[in-house]
Every structure is written in structure tokens, then in C-alpha cells.
Amino acid sequence: MQNLGGFYEDAVAKGQRPSTKVLALRVIAATPEIGEALHLDEGSPVIELNRLRFLDDEPEVLVVTYIPQSLCPGLVDEDLGNESLYWLLASKYGLRITEGFRTIKAIPLDHEAARMLGVRTGSPALLLKSIGLLASGRPLEYFIAIHRGDRAQFSVKLVTDGDSRSARPLPE
């Protein structure tokens, strides 16, 4: 949960076999929520990457990631079905997330999400919203992920920096 690595890196480290089905990879106009999260004006071009992620051939998570197009304009031409997004951002664009903010909320799955994740409508799930920041403090990514509740488990390391004002809420 507190790890700034990606799904792919986390799975491989645990000895699991990750795979991805890219549902959409396109440039869209930032909505008010996306603009707020990425510190962009509404309507600014952002890359939307919508994926269904698998572990050992079992559907695990639906995730939509938003990245400012200005930071990596060629990303829409990449094969992200077989490539780690974080590895690609670091190796090709020199972009590395150094800190972030994340919220977790328990939700019931709607019909479409349940179908894609291979469980019943109304099954429990965890909704994660996360903003990843570059060392400069500029937001690099905003993602919204829906994890199957019957398979999701997160470990969290709790620390204090002595300044509780540093926490920042994510968009609702």
C-alpha cells in the first residue's frame, strides 16, 4: 500500500505472474476531478490508460490512470499490455514517482466491474484513488483502481513526519 512501485513490480517481487489487458489508451480532456488531482486546467490534454490487470491469469484489478500528456506525449503509442508503466516512465521519459497520496474505500461492485473481475454484482471491492508526485512535487499520475475484495490485501507502514498538515485529501 505504501510502496510507490507499480502492480507489475509488486507482483513479480511476490513470485506472481502479472498480465494486463489494455481497455483504452487515448488522450482526453481533463475533467474537473482529473484537473484538480494533476494540478491542470480543466480541458488540458491528459493520457487515459484503462486496464484490467491479472495475477496468475485471474482478474485482480480495474485501473484507470491519468497522466499529463505534456510530460510524455509518446506514451499513447506504447504497448502497455506487456510493459510496466512505471518502468517505461522512468526509462524512456526520466519520470519517477517519489511520493504520493492514497485513499481506500470499501465499495460494492456494480454489474460491469463485477463482470470484468469475474465475481457477482454487489461483491465487496476496494476503491483506491492515488496521486503520484515527482521529486519536484508536480503530480505525474492520478489513478482510480478497483480491487476485488476477496483477493485484495494491503500492508501499511505508519509513520509521522511531525507535521500532520502535510497530508492532503484526494478528490472525491
All residues at 6 or more sequence positions from 113 whose CB lies less than 8 Å from its CB, including other chains: 62, 125, 146
> In angstroms, rounded to a whole number, what is the distance separating the alpha carbons of residues 126 and 53?
15
Q: What is the pTM of this model?
A: 0.85
Number of residues that make up the chain: 172
Digitized pLDDT (tens) for each residue of the chain, 172 residues in all: 344 456 655 655 666 678 899 999 999 999 999 999 999 999 999 999 999 999 888 999 999 999 999 999 999 999 888 788 999 999 999 999 999 999 999 999 999 999 999 999 999 999 999 999 999 999 999 999 999 998 877 776 666 666 555 555 666 6
Domains of the chain and CATH, by start? 7-157 (3.40.1410.10)
Grid coordinates representing 103 are 485513499
Q: Are 117 and 151 in contact (CB under 8 A)?
A: no
